[in-house]
Amino acid sequence: MKSDKELFLWKKEAETKEEWDRKCTEKAPRFLEARNREDFETCFHELCEHMDITVGTGRFVYFFDVYFRFGTSIANMAPDYEAILCQGLQALYYKKEDCTNTFCERYNAVLADLELLTDRITDCLTACGQTSADAADRDVNSAYTERQIQWFRRIKNERAQTFEEALQRILFLNQMIWQTGSWLVGLGRLDMLLYPYYQEDLARGRIDREQAGCLIREFLHTLHGYYWYKSNQLLGDTGQVMILGGTDLQGNYLYNDLTVLFLQCVKDCRLSDPKIVLRTNRKMPRELMEEAVRGMATGTGSPLLSNDDLIIPRLIEFGIKKEDACAYSTSACWEPLIGGKSSSMNNQSSLVYTRALQTMLQEEPLGNLSSFEAVKEQFLLCLRREIIKCEKKLYTQKHWRNTLYSIFMGGCRESKKDITEGGARYHHVGITTVGLGNVVNSLLNIQKYVFEEQRYSMMDVKKICIGNYAGYPEAVQLLSSHNWYGQDDGSAAALANELQAYVTKTTEDFRTPIGGKLKFGISGPDYLLAGNEENASFDGRKKGEPFIVHISNEDLSSYTELMNFAAALDYGDNRFNGNVVDFMVSPSFMEKHFDKFVTLLTRGMEGGCFQLQTNVLGSETLLEAKQSPEQFPHLIVRVWGFSAYYVELPESYQNLLLERAMKSERKRA
């Protein structure tokens, strides 16, 4: 039996895809022909009619037929799970008199096929129950079959009746969105979404809190299944994020018993996936932050903290209605998103700041740069060229329609348009950025060592960056010794704000073909991959080395200083597409200073951090895991915005995490 890592690598192989197509053709001859025509509805019909159904013996039904590979490119979103909880599928159809265009016809056809699939699942469950020799045998082999049959019968024309059934419906819709080729599928605000069903079950005596916890833990384990199949760039990169907590329209902190239960269950399960984003505000009770820190202390990387006091006003300024802004969730890792109402795909391009620096050094006449202001002005002109490249990519992107996602996306039913045509209530687009910290450090080094101390000329800067420090061995240590980015002296934050304000100014008039605006943030996943492709920068970073991770600085002796730096950054206008403070914490520090750490995070968020995540791990453990991976199969680390098993990561990511941990512990590599 292949391991998850082997399955993930197998999934990416070209010969595997050919094998998948062959097996798919054997099951559903019309599927590949329809896929070549980008005919979503025919593909979906073939899927629902011919896919293999696996019901298993667990509490929930959740399965994939990996041989049906759709060609959609829809990602970084969360469907409207409420639409399948509060009513049956039949309530979602367009009436005959309202079915006025092709979208409506496709919409109804997909719903009919979804009903077809629920019938097949019911038949399969019934057959499984009938094959057992007697009732006792049936209870052993499939203890939940009768309940499951009722769930899938009711899904056609009734609301979910229980907390357990609500969990199953979320799993069913989640499964089908993944199955139709979308990826990085979010889970939305599960504590708010599920609370009415949980509360009703408690009131009627159907379950108690302990039993609810058992249901949640099995739900989490079920979602964790097939994570090799769901993973995008790296194993564990699934985007399966659940949002907890929040802020109501009056500014009060909003949470319930499920908020705490989900935090506790994720902590207890210690899985790499799914993950939590915990929304915070100034009124969040301390005991909830304590519960969050207990989760972080396990090393799973959950929860990430997201600051409503900063994010909600930014969303409203951007044109999001207040009631929707207060209900925001996130897409994939951390990018604010209006779940179930927004088709805003937030990782559609990446702006690499250092490329503008390289262009300036390689193509511009350096003799004209006689002052730091002139350097900065020329850099911004080169940065504009990089921004325009991103905009061009965004403008020319094409996506398959996805009628299933459109059914469960607010706005599409009313507008009678697919999400790819702008049918959702919100359809903006997001980009990530990397290398900002390296450019800030490089420019400040130019100011100091070229124009103030005159230790180097601009031609020296060019030779250092293009030549990868050849002939300048002393420059690596000198330039890296001033890691300005993250320090609380004001200069780095001011320059970072200036550069980001320029990106805002350049992109403020951009619109996609369907009218979406552009948003961006500091945090991005490409700090290692993009770093591998870029020349050296004037901050001690050599060619091919990673960029600075998000908002971080392992050289600092104080977490407070990094948070003060983050609080000084300007997240206004369209600069809210993910801005994460990322730091390493040793388990011993967390254990010895638990209360102080809770206070640190509370004050950091109150002081103006946009978002924050931690990696609670020690360098000695990482080193041992590298040397003896078989002894650490379940060691979890936080990568860019997801958690993963350390031994399943590529060596380059393992090395970077080890290096960062050693720096934070003041150890030499």
What pLDDT shows up at residue 331? 83
Provide the percentage of residues in the chain whose pLDDT is more than 90.
88
What would the mean pLDDT of 600-618 be, rounded to a whole number?
95
Specify burial of residue 92 (Cβ count, 10 A radius: 0-12, 13-18, 19+): middle
Least confident of 2-6, 203-207, 271-275, 282-286: 2-6
Q: What is the mean pLDDT of residues 391-420?
A: 96
Q: Which three-class secondary structure string do you get for 166-208?
A: HHHHHHHHHHHHHHCCCEEECCECHHHHHHHHHHHHHHHCCCC
Burial class (CB in 10 A: 0-12, 13-18, 19+), 648: buried
> How far apart are the C-alpha atoms of 669 and 659, rounded to whole Å?
7
What is the per-residue pLDDT for 139? 53
Cα three-residue angle 378-538-543, rounded to 5 degrees: 115
Q: Residues 6 or more apart from 90 whose CB is under 8 A from it?
A: 115, 156, 157
Looking at every residue in the chain, the average pLDDT score rounds to 94
Alpha helix stretches (DSSP H) within 508-553: 529-533
SS3 assignment for 70-137: CCCCCEEECCCCHHHHCCCHHHHCCCHHHCCCHHHHHHHHHHHHHHHHHHHHHHHHHHHHHCCCCHHH
pLDDT in tens, 578-607: 999 999 999 999 999 999 999 999 999 999
Q: What is the mean pLDDT of residues 206-224?
A: 97
Q: For strand 611-616 and strand 580-585, is the pairing parallel, antiparallel, or unpaired?
A: parallel
pLDDT band at 370 (very low <50, low <70, confident <90, very high): very high
pLDDT of residue 58: 87
Look at residue 129 and tell me whether its pLDDT is greater than 90.
no
Mean pLDDT of 331-360: 94
Is the pLDDT reported for residue 554 higher than 60? Answer: yes
Output the pTM of the full model.
0.96
Cα atoms in the 13 Å half-sphere on the side-chain side of 339:
29
Of residues 73 and 155, the one with the higher pLDDT is: 155
Percent of the chain with pLDDT over 70: 97
Q: What pLDDT is recorded for position 103?
A: 98
pLDDT band at 72 (very low <50, low <70, confident <90, very high): confident
pLDDT-based confidence at residue 140 (cuts at 50, 70, 90)? very low
Q: In this structure, is the dihedral angle defined by the CA atoms of residues 582, 614, 280 and 428, taken in order, positive or negative?
A: positive
- pLDDT at 2 (0 to 100): 81
Mean pLDDT of the region 460-485: 95
Phi and psi at residue 171, to the nearest 5°: -60, -40
Cα-based angle 29, 31, 37 (whole degrees, multiple of 5) = 125
**What does the pLDDT read at residue 130?**
63
Tell me the average pLDDT across 642-664.
Answer: 94
* pLDDT score for 669: 60
* Contact assessment for residue 358 and residue 534, using Cβ atoms and an 8 Å cutoff: yes
Confidence of residue 372 (pLDDT cuts 50, 70, 90): very high
Could you tell me the sign of the dihedral formed by the alpha carbons of 453, 454, 456, 459, in that order? positive
Checking if the pLDDT of 131 tops 90, the result is no
Residues in the chain: 669
- The identity of residue 134, as a single letter, is D
pLDDT at 142: 59
pLDDT higher than threshold 70 for residue 376 = yes
Q: How far apart are alpha carbons 49 and 53 in whole angstroms?
A: 10
Burial of 205 (0-12, 13-18, 19+ CB in 10 A): exposed
- Please give the C-alpha separations between residue 381 and each of 183, 370, 496, 502, in angstroms, as whole numbers: 36, 16, 16, 10
pLDDT of residue 482: 85
- What's the whole-number mean pLDDT along residues 324-353? 94
Write out pLDDT tens, residues 307-328.
999 999 999 999 999 999 999 9
Give the mean pLDDT of 602-628.
Answer: 95
How sure is the predictor about 141, in pLDDT bands with cuts at 50, 70 and 90? low
